[in-house]
Amino acid sequence: MNSELAEALNRRAGRDQEARRAAQETGLAGDLLSIDADNTAWLKGIVAEHGWPGVDLVGEEGAEMAWLLAQHADREPQFQQRALELLTAAVEAGQAPRRHLAYLTDRCLVGAGEPQVYGTQYVSGPDGTGLRLHAVADPEGLDARREAVGLEPSAAYDRRMRGQE
């Protein structure tokens, strides 16, 4: 395991989460855009050098943090799509959990303006309020797909996303 890389992933993900919490509390993006841009550029370099940072390379927590940074690479959809391809291979090799693949799949689809598959992505109304689930392909099969990748039922996730749990 590359503990130095794992520590770097944890530090970067910590900054990412701090900036997101601050943005939620204040309604201001602040450093969020620059942190995302910096993290994305850094993760691109890591992926170019090592491939996807899976469990063997950075441990379970490090792999979680790599996925988080890829989730927030929205301003670079080509890289995010590449990360999805690498993550798919990592999941097949047992180097990342299937739920990571579900979230990043949905994130890429939503970014492309398409319906999501696993119901992990929410959007706010035009005025920034009214959190709602982004469109889902085949809503009737949603919970079966979620269960297949280790996600909770959509109704429970919806309550959690809206702060009702």
Residue 105's pLDDT band (cuts 50, 70, 90) = very high
**Residue 156: both structure tokens together:** 């429970």
11: closest CA among 57, 84, 68?
Answer: 68
165 pLDDT exceeds 70?
no
pLDDT tens-digit readout, 72-100: 999 999 999 999 999 999 999 999 999 99
What per-residue confidence (pLDDT) applies to 101?
A: 97
pTM (two decimals): 0.91
pLDDT tens-digit readout, 19-38: 998 887 887 777 889 999 99
What per-residue confidence (pLDDT) applies to 129?
A: 65
Inter-CA distances, 145 with 24, 69, 119, 140, 153, Å: 30, 24, 9, 10, 10
Mean pLDDT for the stretch of residues 4-32: 90
What per-residue confidence (pLDDT) applies to 127?
A: 60
Inter-helix orientation angle 55-71/98-111, to 10°:
30
